[in-house]
Amino acid sequence: MTSTAPQTTPAPQATPAPGWPTVTPFDPHAATPAQRLAVGHLLADAFHHTHPDDPALLPETEALGLTHQLPTERKSHLVVWNGDQALAWGSVEYDTEQNTHMAHLRLTVHPTARRQGLGRAIMSQLLEQAAAAGRHTLTFGTSSRSPAGEAFAQSYGAHAALTMRQSRLDLTTLDHDLLSRWQTRPDGDPFRLHLWQRVPDEYLKRVADMMMVMNTAPRGDLEQQDWTITPEMIRSWEAMIEEANETRFMIAIEDTRTGQLDAYSETFWMQERAALVYQGATAVRPSARGQGLGKWVKAAMLDHVQHACPGARWVQTNNANENAPMLGINVALGFKPYSSFTEWQLKRG
């Protein structure tokens, strides 16, 4: 979740306290607003360090995000404090009903407090917590924008299970003739576009079924089973997006002969970080491929973003390197390589 808001002011150089680092449990729900905000500042400062030219993350939004989780999810947080300042934060999260062998780890150390053992201190406890929860297949992500993350992952014996290209599209360079061609449909076309911010009740089950098409996306070497999406999950996601003052646009394509939704694309945007739009999932049902639905939904979304997101300059997206069809569409639209993202898998026990 993320602005053309003022850049976050870097925190002063941290001074280690006696016995430091001390890793302490952190419950975002029980914590004071000031404590949550301190972690929000840590996350915003770390992002600014690796993305200095991007709209800054909002500490208040990052703090709020710490409290977000689905009813079937469990999250455990850890923090290293230096007085009232959060120097490092980590979490382990997992679902209680699906992919019950897996957990996902997150870890951030403040730029002024790195190379002092904080990351390893938190990682050690995250691994212990995952093991206690019976999760022995662990995943976490690193970006080429922060090269030390890759070395950290390799030092634990993690395997680069899925590599992705992060690409950006400069909206001022859009080929509007191409967008028009991709949105031109044949006479008698049975497909119809829908645009939603909140999914209508009558389409909720069909959207859940459509979103599971993402199970066909490349997974590399990730030992991940198919995810089941439920209407309750969608409503929970919508509530969290709304609470964070973020806007999610979904465009779906319906086959009017059957009522089935055969393709969709979604984007995320915050007015406070107006310059950058995040492209979420785009998928076409396997049985409906080869009819131009992927190009249509992507072109329609870009047309919409230009009018619905004032101040937007860039669209950022992730594609698995092995996903040639979607990469081809994005390249044709003008997306250029920006960085890379790697999903690591660590087997324990």
In order of start, what are the domains of the chain with their CATH numbers? Answer: 23-135 (3.40.630.30), 167-341 (3.40.630.30)
Query: Which tokens in the block code for residue 169?
Result: 């599209």
Query: Which tokens in the block code for residue 136?
Result: 């022995």
Residue 349 has what pLDDT? 77
Dihedral sign computed on CA atoms, order 325, 162, 61, 73: positive
Residue 59 has what pLDDT? 98
Residue 19 has what pLDDT? 55
Residue 225 has what pLDDT? 97
Q: What is the C-alpha to C-alpha distance for residues 250 and 246, in angstroms, rounded to an integer?
A: 13
What pLDDT tens digit does each residue of the chain (349 aa) get?
333 333 333 333 344 445 558 999 999 999 999 999 999 999 999 999 999 999 999 999 999 999 999 999 999 999 999 999 999 999 999 999 999 999 999 999 999 999 999 999 999 999 999 999 999 999 999 999 999 999 999 999 999 999 999 999 999 999 999 999 999 999 999 999 999 999 999 999 999 999 999 999 999 999 999 999 999 999 999 999 999 999 999 999 999 999 999 999 999 999 999 999 999 999 999 999 999 999 999 999 999 999 999 999 999 999 998 889 899 999 999 999 999 999 999 999 7
Dihedral sign computed on CA atoms, order 233, 29, 249, 55: negative
Residues found in the chain:
349
